[in-house]
Structure 1
Amino acid sequence: ILLHSDRDPIPDVPAIYFVMPTEENIDRICQDLRNQLHESYFLNFISAISRSKLEDVASAALAANAVAQVTKVYDQYLNFITLEDDMFTLCHQNKELISYHAINRADIQDTDMEAIMDTIVDSLFCFFVTLGAVPIIRCPRGNAAEMVAVKLDKKLRENLRDARNSLFTGDNMAAGQFSFQRPLFVLADRNVDMATPLHHTWTYQALIHDVLDYQLNRVVMEEGLGAEPSPAGARPKKKNRKAYDLTAADRFWQKHKGSPFPEVAESVQEELDTYRAQEDEVKRLKCIMGLEGEDEGAISMLSDNTAKLTSAMSSLPELLEKKRLIDLHTNVPAASQ
């Protein structure tokens, strides 16, 4: 049931509230206490309620003679939304209030900026309380990211100072601030594009440069000596290193070094199909050369095939070079994946 919807009193039923500690929500809870809507009240606040607002609830409960009915008050520290196992987003009713535009608009006042920073810090603090770990914070200087980092650091330190009430102690908190497995929390300003430098360029030459040992037009790759696994207890098989030269004489390299990787894979397959067709033609001619019979048709066919075979044999070095280049550009992309 929505908090601000019209509700009839149900005096024999307990009520569980799960709300943000905003002025409007606190006023409605106080109104419910005065109206004696429920038998008992379990108040769960998504983020920590301030002392002043908690006193407002206490005053309303005292005035309504409902102090005993307020059974529990919890700070749940859940002011964020988990979208996936390794991704979350800040939780806010109006996302425009904490958006990139809101932070960077020209007419923003200092008080507005402070409010935005406090909202962001509150959500981040809730996340780390739920995670049960104190982060190592890193950020660039001189922008909103630094403001958030400073405020979050202060909030964490204030909580850790109070050892008795610290949210980062207890058996279920993985030693909190004392853990050697503390997460690294990197705060980056959206004006700085952090994602692009972390992605490999998707062209053939650039990808080889990024992920393989590529120097002076030579790429060196490790190759396994065998596909069988090493016997139990035996040393793992050593890998030999094979070098490939990618020079101007390599027509495939010159044509496709700037091509996207999927296009390179398609071109390698096309070259392989062409090579196999030429290889099959040579094999066919070799079989035909064993043709028996001395009629004019057979002699004419033998003469034509002899000319074709001679031409094929003269192009054999070129065919072998094509096969070498196909093998090269099959192995290198496979190692780049």
Structure 2
Amino acid sequence: MSFSDSDSSSYGGEYKNFRQISRERLLQEMLRSARTGDSKSTWKVLIMDRLTVKVMSYSCKMADITQEGVSLVEDIYRRRQPLPSMDAIYFIQPTKENVIMFLSDMSGKSPLYKKAFVFFSSPVSRELVAHIKTDSSVLPRIKALKEMNLEYFAIDSQGFITDNERALEELFGDEEDSRKGDACLNVMASRIATVFASLREFPFVRYRAAKSLDVTTMTTTRDLIPTKLAARVWDRLTQYKQKIEHFPQTETCDLLILDRSIDQIAPIIHEWTYDAMCHDLLNMEGNKYVHEVPSRTGGPPEKKDVLLEEHDPIWLELRHAHIADASERLHEKMTNFISKNKAAKIQHGSRDGELSTRDLQQMVQALPQYSEQIDKLSLHVELAKLPQDDMNAVNNMRLLGGVSETKKSSTGAFSLKFDIHKDLVEKLNKGELSKDEYPCMNDPSPTFHGTSHSSSPLHTGPSPAPHSMRQRRNPTWARPRNSDDGYSRWSCSYSCSLS
């Protein structure tokens, strides 16, 4: 039995986006590593809890999992059929309840599975490891016991969430509950840290400082939340620095932790992008949307489930566009498609006349592309389709979209600041962010952002500049949103907002 962190992924060669890195870690470091020795050619059972199922589903498809030798996926908390001839892969959170369930599965004379490969989603405590070691019947059946350190949801190629939906209430609510708030901070810190474990990045941990202590201003518990979260993230990162092989020993990027006070207007107004509007105004389950399509047999409309994900090129192109701009561009796409596709052109142009044999031949040849494209375009046309009152409000919002300076009312009593996150990231990238307002948890390292520090009194030569373990060096966060390189919103600076 071995207890160690999972082997480091190779990030050399081509640049990999965030979801690709997460996917490769799950498939290669976890599932593929279980296909060794006498287990190489046998099918396995994958057992997960509620959270790790979501972690897996955001990065991998069922076909990916099956390809790695998994024939069955099970919930650790459901009653399961014994499969004593098969090995099991456990991908679970390191909780006492999960460990008890695992030991129940694998202990005694009749375990549910032959051997077990256990992967924890975040660092496991010494107490739980000791608890596992106390069961002598289980130890010989454990083929691997590792920390994956992957406990976030890769929602797309560039972003992630930590699934703390009640964080705002638990951290900033009227009725302060120190135990709930403390537990919430611990979970958030652990999950944020696993992002950097997966990326093999060691950040400067910056945070928005609490108000100054003086006779007129009292610092509250809420003011200290960014400070507390930054301290806990930093604590976990220093542990990774010691435990994880090939983890950077000097800083490679910035992490900036903010709270909602930096952007109070966002919860009041809706986001204006196509992506945000879909999630705000439609009845969606995650990324799944159910819409009606005309019946091919002439009957009533049929319901169809679609996933608004990156495999849909139209969604990929329009999701970050302003809703009014997305509507215009979609209209142009539909018009352009009808003018160029033979099947669409003939169908729209020959409604009042009969089709010739040549027309029919050209239409049949163009049908595969027509069916695929018209399905995709029709889906998004229906999604831009809001009631007129809502569309009027959306179109009026567009007038505010380009404002980046403070807008004040005639009385001067109310003001809005737009693009404040962009301003902060720009200053952070240039090294101009105030150290008093946004202090750093880290001790100075030899070199970062072009600033040198001596590591010791005897240091005489230049220190090598630390760099990201990922291949791409140039930051892309400031590129236009219509950039076609696929990484237009990704950079080596990370901003974490407690919303």
TM-score, structure 1 normalization = 0.50
**For the pair shown, which has the larger CA radius of gyration, 1 or 2?**
1
Higher relative contact order (CA 8 A, sep 6+): 2
TM-score, structure 2 normalization = 0.34
Tell me which protein shows more helix as a share of its residues: 1
